[in-house]
């Protein structure tokens, strides 16, 4: 399932996939795969992404 919440939060902070990837220590392709729903990140990566974007795990990764 696509992660549109992550994509929207990243765009709201005017961060490219490459910039977010650099801040959390992964490749741009990893961020792209998470947004496309092709990759399930580890909890540690989820937390790192949330910290950079100022969001909670529920806000970015909880499926309704």
Q: What is the pLDDT of residues 3-42, one digit of tens each?
A: 999 999 999 999 999 999 999 999 999 999 999 999 999 9
| pLDDT mean over 40-58 | 97
What's the Cα-to-Cα distance from 56 to each of 2, 7, 21, 32, 46, rounded to whole Å? 18, 14, 18, 20, 9
Helix axes of 28-36 and 4-12: crossing angle, nearest 10 degrees: 130
pLDDT at 39: 96
Q: Where are the domains of the chain?
A: 4-61
Say which CATH topology domain 4-61 has: 434 Repressor (Amino-terminal Domain) (1.10.260)
């Amino acid at each position: 399932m696509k992660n549109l919440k992550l994509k929207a939060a990243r765009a709201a902070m005017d961060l490219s996939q490459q910039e977010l990837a650099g801040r959390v220590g992964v490749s741009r392709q990893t961020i792209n795969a998470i947004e496309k729903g092709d990759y399930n990140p580890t909890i540690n990566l989820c937390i790192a992404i949330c910290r950079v974007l100022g969001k909670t795990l529920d806000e970015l990764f909880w499926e309704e």
